[in-house]
Amino acid sequence: MTDFEGLRAVVTGGASGIGLATARLLAARGARVAVLDLKPDVDDPLTGYRCDVSDDAAVTAAVSVAASSLGGIDVLVNNAGIGAQGDVTANSDDEWHRVLDVNVLGMARMTRAALPHLRRSPAAAVVNTCSIAAWQGLPNRVLYSASKGAVMAMTLAMATDHLDDGIRINCVCPGTADTPWVGRLLDAAADPAAERAALAARQPMGRLVTADEVAHAIAYLASPLSSSTTGTAVAVDGGMYGLRPRPRP
């Protein structure tokens, strides 16, 4: 497919996992792609820019440089995010502020900085990486779930605000995806193989989602071919949101 031919895309957190798979897919489908990341080590045809989405000055500067280099911005993928574990007692106020600063304000800052460019695009789209945690009560994920619930609500509110700007805004809700992030979590578990099996079993398909599968959904939402789709959340979760199959024998 070449549906992104001539379009310019910015992907945050695009140097790893879901973001990297998305950046590569958008480029393969014709987009020129800038990756904004804390560690922007990416290969051709992607161009990396160092940017911490929790730093407003860094976001403004990186968006400006990326837009100049690309000649504008049509697609923004707000994907950078960090995890947090534990029940409501597990994280200090500072940690709450840190995670919300990256996962929620990071997306607000990026969208705010990209808006003037998106308004000039004939095919403007924003896709936010949300999570199954916005919909389902996962154990020991209070802070992370709060951040992704905010991403879901923010996606809908922003989609409404920018209807008349012609900017479509949607989100994807991955289940547990096999990315370096989850690899790090598994490495830290007492029994990584058992933990991986438990995460896989939680998803009705019985396996983890792949980064490429999430990237495909992000590309679907970002594509100019999806020009009537705004204010939606697409689950990429092996059936975790909607299905209640009987446990496998």
Q: Which parts of this chain interact with ligand NAD (CB under 6 A)?
A: 12-13, 15-19, 37-39, 51-54, 79-82, 102, 129, 131, 174, 176-177, 179-182
d(CA 221, CA 230): 8
CB of 124 to ligand NAD, least distance (A): 21
**Are the CB atoms for 89 and 95 separated by under 8 Å?**
no
| Nearer CB in complex with ligand NAD: 53/123 | 53
Q: Is 19 helix (H, G, I), strand (E, B) or coil?
A: helix
Shortest CB 144 distance to ligand NAD, Å: 7
Nearer to ligand NAD, 125 or 235 (CB): 235
- Phi (first) and psi of residue 197, to 5 degrees: -65, -40
Q: How far apart are CA 129 and CA 144, in angstroms?
A: 13
Instruction: Compute the least distance from the CB of residue 84 to ligand NAD, in Å.
Output: 10
* Residue with Cβ nearer ligand NAD (103 or 123): 103
Inter-axis angle of helices 17-28 and 211-222, nearest 10: 50
Q: Is 49 a catalytic residue?
A: no
Least separation in angstroms between residue 2's CB and ligand NAD is 25
Output 4 or 135, the one with its CB closest to ligand NAD: 135
Q: What is the DSSP string of 179-241?
A: SHHHHHHHHHSSSHHHHHHHHHHHSTTSSPBPHHHHHHHHHHHHSGGGTT--S-EEEESTTTT
Residue numbers annotated as active site: 144
